[in-house]
Amino acid sequence: MCTQAVRWGERRYHSLDHYLKNEFGEKLYKLSLNGGMTCPNRDGTLGERGCIFCSRGGSGDFAASPALSIAEQLEAAKKLVAAKHSGSSYIAYFQAYTNTYAPCSYLRRTFTEAICHPDIRVLSIATRPDCLSPNVLDLLGGLNRIKPVWVELGLQTVHEKTARFIRRGYELPVFEKAVSALHSRGIPIIVHVILGLPGENEGHMLATVRYLNEMKIQGVKLQLLHILKDTDLADYYRQHPFRIFSLEEYVEIIGRCIALLRPDIVIHRLTGDGPKPLLLEPSWSADKRRVLNQIQAHLKKHDIWQGKEYHHGNCIQAL
């Protein structure tokens, strides 16, 4: 077994839990917050229906109500995780919609209230790469000098044809410019990828991983495609059924992704757990513990570890 596999323990990959314990000395739980923002893909700037997989009510299904202050949201979110977390340190996670899509003065007040809370160790902000103006970037850079700031970017896929289908709303050079700007300010970047998008095969998905290996990013979320009620994707699936992963197939592709992924990249997610009342497919994904256990068993059985098949410069052209 390679030294990385031993160092990361039985999980065989650079997990978020491992990173947090090394960096902060303990596990930190995320507290999902709602900054009351919208998205250019919903307010008419780029579109009005969001990405094809977004619920019509909006993203951030686990975030708190924007009617509450940030302090009130933090307290409410702490109560939700109290049964699982006995510590007093957390990540403030702005999850709903596009969390840099607002005037800089508003963002400053909102993010400062969160980052200055004594129980918050990290500020994590989910946003779009086309919503990072120079002023916003400078604001994030300043906040990053107070406490660590992470920026999560929704790439989903490296393939432009798929990106147009899912209505992502920006082209790849926009993502690359955002990564460069954030990296120059010392801000860690976490990239969201969706596995199983319509029209993509294993080669497409692995090409996205190879692309990310060449980018100056620090984390990745590998998200299983969910088909949720009240989404345009659900409507499309009913009219044009496409193949979705079985549990065994998903475990297999995750293993391939982990083996290809650059060893220093922190894996923040290996599956997903969409709201059960809204979940249409795949039904097996609702049992998150079972999915993670099967992934772990697959990695051990086939002696897979993160970076096993990674070679610097192995990026290939998008299919």
- List, for residues 21-73, the tens digit of each pLDDT value: 999 999 999 999 999 999 999 999 999 999 999 886 655 555 678 889 999 99
**Average pLDDT of every residue of the chain:** 92
Q: β-strands 90-94, 120-127: how paired?
A: parallel
Does residue 83 register a pLDDT over 90? no
For the stretch 46-59, pLDDT in tens is 999 999 998 866 55
Asked if residue 301 lies in contact with residue 251, where contact means CB atoms within 8 angstroms, the answer is: no
Residue percentage of the chain with pLDDT more than 70: 92
Say if CB 184 and CB 132 are below 8 A apart. no
pLDDT in tens, 301-319: 999 999 999 987 544 433 3
Which SS3 state, helix, strand or coil, does residue 123 take? strand
Beta-carbon contacts of residue 218 (< 8 Å; ≥ 6 apart): 150, 188, 189, 190, 264, 265, 266
Domains in the chain, please, with CATH?
A: 3-301 (3.20.20.70)
pLDDT of residue 82 exceeding 90, the answer is: no
Please say if the pLDDT value at position 5 is more than 90: no
The neighbouring-strand residues paired with 153 are 127, 191
pLDDT of amino acid 275 = 86
